[in-house]
Amino acid sequence: MEKISCPTCRKAFDQHDERQTNLCLEKFINIATNPVVYSSTKKIICPTCEKDMLDHNQRQAMECVNKFIKQVKDNSD
């Protein structure tokens, strides 16, 4: 199983229970899809392409978010 680092809390996802995984994914989705609102809270590096989330346009953000969610869900099975 590949270790995936959580982009919101910086812990490995294998240290998350299901509830914590869902909370972190929800927060990541909010930050990734609306970076202007959340940009002042903390810098988020995209776990898929390793770029700053502010460098993504809306389409790129959604692609990376969907890939990341799939990767996390596939690893949790």
pLDDT digits (tens, 9 = 90+) for 14-38: 889 999 999 999 988 888 888 777 6
| pLDDT bucket at 39, cuts 50 / 70 / 90 | low
Report the candidate in 43, 63, 67, 40 with the shortest Cα–Cα distance to residue 53: 43
Identify the residue with better confidence: 41 or 70. 70
CA atoms within 13 A on the CB side of 10: 4
* pLDDT tens readout for residues 50-68: 988 888 888 998 999 999 9
**Neighbour-count burial of 69, counting CB atoms closer than 10 A to its CB (0-12 exposed, 13-18 middle, 19+ buried):** middle
- Residue 2 confidence (pLDDT): 67
pTM above 0.75, yes or no: yes
Identify the residue with better confidence: 68 or 2. 68
